[in-house]
Amino acid sequence: MMRLLILLFALFSSCSNAARIKDIVDVEGVRSNQLVGYGLVVGLPGTGEKTRYTEQTFRTMLKNFDINLPANVRPKVKNIAVVAVHATMPAFIKPGQTVDVTVSSIGEAKSLRGGSLLQTFLKGVDGQTYAVAQGSLIVSGFSAEGLDGSSVIQNTPTVGRIPSGAMIERIVETPFNHGDSLTLNLKLSDFATAQRTAAAINQFLGPGMAKAQDATSIIVRAPRDPNQRVSFLAALHELEVEPGRQAARVIVNSRTGTIVVGAQVKLLPAAVTHGGLTVTISENQRVSQPSPFSGGNTVVTTNSVIDANQVPSRMFVFDPGTTLDQLVQAVNKVGAAPSDVMAILEALKQAGALHGELIII
C-alpha cells in the first residue's frame, strides 16, 4: 500500500499570525549580484581533458608568466580542465571580504576531485571584475572506470565548491542612501497586504509617511542621513502586519506524489468516477437547542461526515463547501496511491469544480 505524502499549509489564512515586515518585504535596490568567470583547474589525477580550447587556455596561462610554447608544440597534459566559476555577491559586501564559489567543468574532464582553481576573475553583467577566485576544490562526487569499460559514478564529480574562495575587490553601489524615500517590495504580491503594511507604517510614524503604490510596492518617506536611515529601517522591520489571505492554490508534484494544499481551496458540487475507490463527503445541518431557562441561544451547526472505502463502486460525491483537506484525509484512510488523488484533482479542474488554481510540476 502506497503512502500518500500530504503537506497542508495555510497561505496567510484568516487565522494566521502577524508577520514582521522584514519577513515579507525586500528593500528596493538592496539585492545580491551574480558573478561569473572562466578559469583553469590544475592538479587533476589524470581526469582532465585535451581539447583545443583547453590548450588555448593553458597557453594563455603560461604566457602570463612569460613562458611561450612554440606554435608546433601541443602540450600533452591530462591534469588540467577548463571550468566555469560562479558566485553570488551579497548586498553591502565590502572589498576584502570573501564569498563561496562553485566550479563546474565545461569540457570533457571526468572529475575535478583533487584539483585547484588558478586565479580567476569574476565579472558582473557590466563586464567589470568584482572578485577574484582561487583555491582547492571540494568535490562530493567520484567516478571510477574499469579496463572493460564499466564505470561507477556517484553524485556529480565534475562540480565542486571552494568555501570563501573568492575575495571581493570592488563594491556595487546601491540606491539605499539616495533620495527622500525607500521602496518596500512585497515578496508575495497582494493588494490587502500592501494596504495593511502602509497602514501599519503610518500608524507607527504618522499619517502620510507610507503609501501603497500597487500590489507589490510601498513607498516610505525616509531620512537622508545614512545613520538615521539604518535606524529608521531597522525600526520598520520589526513592525508586525497581518498579511492578506492568498489565492486558493493546489500544487502537485507528479514525480514524488507530494500535494501542497492551500487553506482557501474549496470543492464545488461534482461527481467523479475513478477506479474502484468510493469517497463520499457530505455536510449535515444540526440545530443546537439550549436547555429551558438556561439563557442560551439556538444555533445551527454543520456536522461533516466523511466515509471512504475500497469497493467496486466508481462514484465520488462532493457537496458544496467541502474542503480539499477533507477529501485527501478520506482518500488517505484507504491507502490510495498519489496518482488516484492527482487524477481526481485533474478531473475536478476540468469540470470547473475546483475552487482554486491547480499547478502540476
Which residues of the chain carry a pLDDT beneath 50? 1-16, 147-148, 281, 311-314
Q: Residue 309 domain-assigned?
A: yes
Please indicate, yes or no, whether residues 199 and 83 belong to a single structural domain of this protein: no
Distance CA 209, CA 198 (A): 8
Residues 241-285: tens digit of each pLDDT: 888 877 666 766 666 666 666 666 666 655 555 555 555 545 556
Please indicate, yes or no, whether residues 139 and 179 belong to a single structural domain of this protein: no
Q: What does the block give as the cell for 101?
A: 564559489
Q: Residue 4 domain-assigned?
A: no
Terminal Cα-to-Cα distance of the chain (whole angstroms) = 24
Using alpha carbons only, give the angle 134, 136, 139 rounded to the nearest 5 degrees: 125
What is the per-residue pLDDT for 29?
A: 85
Write out the residue range of the structural domain in which residue 230 sits.
18-30+175-241
Q: Residue 345 domain-assigned?
A: yes
Please indicate, yes or no, whether residues 164 and 37 belong to a single structural domain of this protein: yes
Please indicate, yes or no, whether residues 37 and 23 belong to a single structural domain of this protein: no
Distance CA 48, CA 79 (A): 5
Please indicate, yes or no, whether residues 65 and 121 belong to a single structural domain of this protein: yes
What is the per-residue pLDDT for 157?
A: 86
Output the CA torsion sign for 195, 197, 200, 201. Answer: negative
Domains identified in the chain, total number: 3
Please indicate, yes or no, whether residues 87 and 155 belong to a single structural domain of this protein: yes
Give residues with Cβ within 8 angstroms of 149, minimum separation 6: none
- Least Cα distance to 264 among 250, 243, 285, 279 occurs for 250
Please indicate, yes or no, whether residues 154 and 42 belong to a single structural domain of this protein: yes
What is the per-residue pLDDT for 69?
A: 76
Please indicate, yes or no, whether residues 38 and 160 belong to a single structural domain of this protein: yes
Please indicate, yes or no, whether residues 259 and 230 belong to a single structural domain of this protein: no
Pair 162, 119: CB distance under 8 Å: no
Where does a domain end: 116, 133, 168?
A: 168
Where does a domain end: 197, 215, 241?
A: 241
Please indicate, yes or no, whether residues 162 and 74 belong to a single structural domain of this protein: yes
Please indicate, yes or no, whether residues 50 and 62 belong to a single structural domain of this protein: yes
What is the per-residue pLDDT for 269?
A: 59
Q: What does the block give as the cell for 132?
A: 577574484
Q: Residue 186 domain-assigned?
A: yes
Where does a domain end: 241, 261, 276?
A: 241
Distance CA 172, CA 29 (A): 11
Give residues with Cβ within 8 angstroms of 180, minimum separation 6: 221, 222, 224
Please indicate, yes or no, whether residues 66 and 84 belong to a single structural domain of this protein: yes
